[in-house]
Structure 1
Amino acid sequence: MLNKQITDFNENLIGLRDFVELIDPFLTEKFEEHDKHIQPIILSAMLKEVLSNGEKIEDEDKEKFVEFQEKIEKELDKKYKEIPEVKFDKKENQEGKGFSISISNSNNEISKHLENAQKNKEHIELLYTNSLISALSSVEWFFSQLLHFYYDKHPESAGVQKRTMTLTELKTFGTIEDAEKYLIDVKIDEILRGNFESWINLLKSELSLGLGYLKDIKEELIEVYQRRNLFVHNGGIVNSIYLSKVSENQRKGISLNDKLSVNKSYLDNAICKLQKAFILIGAELWKKLNPEDITRGEILGDIVYENLIHSRWDICEGLCFFSLKDAQINPVDKVIAQINYWLCKKELDDYKSIEKDINKADFSDKKEIFQLGLFALRGETEKVLNMLPIVLETNQTNIERLEEFPILKEFRETEEYKTFKKESKFFKEENKEVITPEIVEKE
C-alpha cells in the first residue's frame, strides 16, 4: 500500500538530520576557534558597562566584579597592544528586550577573528536554513506521492472528467490513460502551488480525512511554511504575507521587515512536527484505502522504534496513539504500541495521565518481553531483574538490544543492573540471535 512512500519519507528526514549532525560540529568548532578570542573582550566591556551604569550591586558582588574585570583586562593587555572598543545598543528582538554588540576594527588581529567568526556563524545559519528548506521539499515530495496514489486509484476525485484539452494536446498522448495521467499531474501541480491551509482543506474535502492530530500543531506548521517562503522568496525578511498568515502567538516579537533566522532548536522542532504530521496523514490515507492491511502497524512500529532511539517522544506518541486506535492492527503490534505510548507519555512528563492505566495493566498472559517493558515503566527493578534471564534465555531479545531499549534507560542506570552485567553469563554471549528488532520483540 503506502509502506514504501511512508518509509522513504521517514528515511529522508532522518538522513537530513544525520547530515546536520555531521556538519554542525565542524562549523561550530570553526566558529568557537575564533569566538574564544572575542568573548573576553566582550565580557570585559560588559563588566565595565554594569559597573558604570549606576545599577545597584551589593558591595561584596561589586568587589568580585571589579576584581574579575581587572583580571580579564590584564590578560588582554598582555595579549594585545590595543584593545578594541565595544559598544552596546539596546533593541527589541524576537525574545523581547536585548542589545546588539559592535566592536571597532582598530586591532587587525581581532578584526580577523571577528570576520571569521561572523562568516562561520553565517555558515551555521545557512546550514539550518537550507536544511529547513530541504525538509519542506521532502514533505512536498511525500505529499505529491500520496496524492498520486489516491488520484490514480480514484481519478474521478481529481475532477479530470470536467477538464478540457486542445486537439494539439490530445495528439501528444498515445492513449486515453496517458491523457488522464497528464491531467492528474496538472491537478497535483496546482495543489502543490497552494499553501498548507489549502492542503488541509483538500485532504478533508476531497480525500475525506479527519486530520484530528493536526489540531494542536496546525498554527505551528503554518508558521514553518511561511518562514520557508520568506527565505525562498524574500531573503528571510518579514513581509505582510507572513504577518497575515501566521497567528499572533506564533510570531511574538516579530515585526514587518525583521530578518528571521533558523537555529538548531527551531530546525529540530520543525522537522519533528512535519515528520509526525505527514506520516500520520499517510497512515490515515492508508487506513482509509485499505483498512484491513495489517502491515500498517508493522511499518509504524519500525518508524517508532527508530525515533525512540533518538528520544523523539512527540513523534512516537502520535504514531503510537494512531496505532492504538487502528482496529485492524495486529494484536502484538498493538501491545508494542501501548507500551511505547506509555513510555512517551512518561518521558514527556505526563506520567500522571497514564499512571492508573499502567498500574492496573495485567500482562501475565503475554510474552515475558512485554512483561519486562511493563515492569520497567513501573520502576519495579526487582521484577525486571527476575525477568531478564528469561527473555535472554529464550532469545526474545539480546544483549545489544538490552543495552539500547529506551524503555530500560532508567533501569540501566541502577546498581542492580551494573551488578547483573558483572555476574551474568549472558554478557559473555552477546552474539546470540535475536528474533525481531523492535522495542519489545514479537514472534
Structure 2
Amino acid sequence: MEEQQPDSLEEIQAEINSSKPDFASEINKFIKHIESQADIVPIVMSLISLKLVQESRHVEQYIKDSGIIEKKKDESTDGDEPKQSKLLVPSDKFKGFIELTEKVDKTGLAYQLLPINFVVSFVSQYDAYLGGLIRTMFFAKPELLNGSEKNILFSELMKFASIEDAKEFLIEKEVESVLRESHLKQFKWLENKLGITLRKDLPSFSDFIEITERRNLFVHCNGVVSRQYIDVCRENEVKNIDEIKVGEQLSAKPEYFNKCYQILFEIGVKLGQVTWRKLIPDEIEKADAHLNNVCYQLLIKGHNRLALKLLTFATDTIKKHADQEMVCIFTINKALAHYLSNKKEECKKVLEKHDWSATNDKYKLAIAVLKEESEDAIKLMKSIGSTSKDVTKDAYREWPLFREFRKTDTFKTAYVEIFEEEFIYVEPKPKNLEDIVSEMQQLKKEALEVREKENTAPNGDSE
C-alpha cells in the first residue's frame, strides 16, 4: 500500500542539490546510484555474451573454411580423463586463426572482469554514501564533534572566514579518518557515536563484511584469497568460509553480483534510517514515509525479497512509528511481499498477528485481497466507492496489492459498476535485450533517414 506518492525526480534532485545535508537526500542518492548500475549490468553482460557467441562462431567457420584439421591425441589416455585433441593449422592460415581466437579470449576476459568491476563500484558507492551520512550526522548534532581527536592548528584556523568554515574543515577531517578504517571499524565507530549496537539486529552484516573484504581482494590482489580475508570473515561468522582456501582466486558470478546489490541496498537504507531516527527523533513521521516509499518502489519493481527485509526491519526492529496507521501500512506491505513471492501461508501469518478490528475499509480490502477472499473484496470495493481519496482509479491500476486481483473478471466487472468505465490497463514489463536492440535499430534508421534528407536538400542545406 502507498501512504504517499514517492518523491519525484525533481524533489530528489532538489534535496541532493541542497546545501544542508539531509538524511533523506543521502539515502535517495545512494539508492539511485546503485540501482543505476544494477539495472545496466544484465544488459551489458548480455551484449558481451552475444559478442562472445558471435566471435566463437567466426572461429568455427574459419576452421571449416580453411581446411583446419582436428587431430585426436593418443587413444591410450589413462584413467577417466577426457581425450584431448589439437588443431593442425596451415601456415598461411595461422595469422588469421590467432587473430580470431584472441578476440574470443579478450571478450571472455571482459565477461569475467566486468561483474568484478561493478562489485568494486558498488562498494565505492557505499563508501561515498557513508561519508555523506557522517557529514549529515555532524550537521544534525554538532556536539558529536566534541569527542573528535582531530585538531586545527592556529595557522590553519586563521585562514577560515567563519566558525562554520572551521567546523566544516573538522568534519571533513573526521570523515576522511573514518573512511580510511576497515568497514568493521567504521560500524564500531558509528555504534560509539550513536550509543547503540547496530550489528545486533543485522543478520546481513556477515555477508556485508564478506563483500567488502572480497572487494579488497579484487582491488589489491586480483581476487586471490589472503590469510587476512579468511581471518576477518571467520571473525564475523561468514558462512562456508572454511571451504575457501588461501591462494584461491575468487570471482563475481551473476548470482553473487545480485547478492552484493541486495546486501548493500539493505545495509545502506537500514543504516540511514537508524541514524536519522536516533539523531532527529522529531522527524520520525518523515522517516516513516521515506522508508515506506522505498519499500513501495521495491514492490513495484518486483524486488520482493529485498522489500521483505526492509519491511521486516520496519515492523520488527523499529519500535517507534509516527502513528498506528503507519504500522498498518508496513504490515500490509510486509504481507504483500510474501504474497507476491507466492508464500501465501506466510502472508496470512503476518496478517493474523495484527488486530485489524478498528481499521477502516481500505485495510479490510487489502486483507481480503491478500487472503484471496474475492467476494469480500468486491463488497468492500463497492462500499469504498468512487469518491475515496485513498483507493482511487490510479490505486487500482498501480498498487502492487491489486496486481493479481485486477486480472480477474470479477474485479473488472466491479470496477465498471463503481467508476462507470471499462478497466483498461496493461501491466508494465521490464525491457529485455531484444527490446533494447530493436529500439536502437529504429533510432539508427531514423537518424539515417534524417541524414539522407539533409543531403538531398537544395544546396546541401537541411529543410
TM-score (norm. length: structure 2): 0.70
Query: Alpha-carbon deviation of 1:150?
Result: 1.6
Q: 1:151 aligns with which of 119, 138, 152?
A: 138
Tell me the distance in 2 between the aligned counterparts of 1:366 and 1:219: 39
User: Judging changes above 3 Å, is the alpha-carbon distance between structure 1 residues 328 and 398 closer, same or farther for their aligned structure 2 residues?
Assistant: closer
Query: Alpha-carbon deviation of 1:226?
Result: 0.8
| Contiguous gaps of at least 5 residues in structure 1 | 42-74, 88-98, 432-443
Tell me the distance in 1 between the aligned counterparts of 2:101 and 2:384: 58
Deviation digits for residues 395-414 of structure 1 (CA, Å, limit 9, x no counterpart): 54456653543333443565
Q: 1:249 is aligned with what amino acid? A: K
* 1:148 and 1:188 in contact (8 A); partners too: yes
Tell me the distance in 1 between the aligned counterparts of 2:85 and 2:382: 64
Moved more, 258-267 or 170-179: 170-179
- Higher RCO structure, 1 or 2 (CA under 8 Å, sep 6+): 2
* 1:304 and 1:320 in contact (8 A); partners too: yes
Query: Alpha-carbon deviation of 1:340?
Result: 0.9
Q: 1:303 is aligned with what amino acid? A: V
1:281-360 correspondence runs (5 A): 281-293=271-283, 294-324=285-315, 325-346=318-339, 352=345, 355-359=348-352
Query: Alpha-carbon deviation of 1:423?
Result: 9.4
User: Judging changes above 3 Å, is the alpha-carbon distance between structure 1 residues 14 and 397 closer, same or farther for their aligned structure 2 residues?
Assistant: farther
Q: 1:402 is aligned with what amino acid? A: Y
Deviation digits for residues 369-390 of structure 1 (CA, Å, limit 9, x no counterpart): 4323211221223333444455
Tell me the distance in 2 between the aligned counterparts of 1:422 and 1:370: 22
Which residue does 1:178 correspond to in 2?
165
Query: Alpha-carbon deviation of 1:331?
Result: 3.3
Query: Alpha-carbon deviation of 1:30?
Result: 2.0
CA RMSD, Structure 1 to Structure 2 (Å): 3.8
SS at match of 2:239: helix
Tell me the distance in 2 between the aligned counterparts of 1:79 and 1:414: 57
Q: 2:302 is aligned with what amino acid? A: S
| Contiguous gaps of at least 5 residues in structure 2 | 1-21, 74-80, 426-463
Deviation digits for residues 3-50 of structure 1 (CA, Å, limit 9, x no counterpart): 111122222222222222442332232233345688xx9xxxxxxxxx
Q: 1:140 aligns with which of 124, 127, 149?
A: 127
Q: 1:203 is aligned with what amino acid? A: L
* 2:412 and 2:423 in contact (8 A); partners too: no
Which residue does 1:18 correspond to in 2?
39
* 2:151 and 2:170 in contact (8 A); partners too: no
Deviation digits for residues 119-178 of structure 1 (CA, Å, limit 9, x no counterpart): 333323333222212211221121111211222344443356654443433333233443
Q: 1:5 aligns with which of 6, 23, 26?
A: 26
Tell me the distance in 1 between the aligned counterparts of 2:150 and 2:350: 54
User: Judging changes above 3 Å, is the alpha-carbon distance between structure 1 residues 80 and 134 closer, same or farther for their aligned structure 2 residues?
Assistant: same
Which residue does 1:405 correspond to in 2?
399
Tell me the distance in 1 between the aligned counterparts of 2:409 and 2:72: 52
Tell me the distance in 2 between the aligned counterparts of 1:427 and 1:106: 73
Deviation digits for residues 416-442 of structure 1 (CA, Å, limit 9, x no counterpart): 5577789997663659xxxxxxxxxxx
Tell me the distance in 2 between the aligned counterparts of 1:25 and 1:426: 46
Query: Alpha-carbon deviation of 1:321?
Result: 3.0
Say whether residues 1:275 and 2:265 are aligned partners.
yes
Q: Count residues in correspondence.
A: 385
User: Judging changes above 3 Å, is the alpha-carbon distance between structure 1 residues 403 and 129 closer, same or farther for their aligned structure 2 residues?
Assistant: farther
User: Judging changes above 3 Å, is the alpha-carbon distance between structure 1 residues 177 and 114 closer, same or farther for their aligned structure 2 residues?
Assistant: same
Tell me the distance in 1 between the aligned counterparts of 2:83 and 2:159: 63
Between the aligned residues of both structures, percent identity stands at 22
TM-score (norm. length: structure 1): 0.73
Query: Alpha-carbon deviation of 1:415?
Result: 6.3
Which residue does 1:91 correspond to in 2?
none
User: Judging changes above 3 Å, is the alpha-carbon distance between structure 1 residues 168 and 415 closer, same or farther for their aligned structure 2 residues?
Assistant: same
Tell me the distance in 2 between the aligned counterparts of 1:207 and 1:394: 46
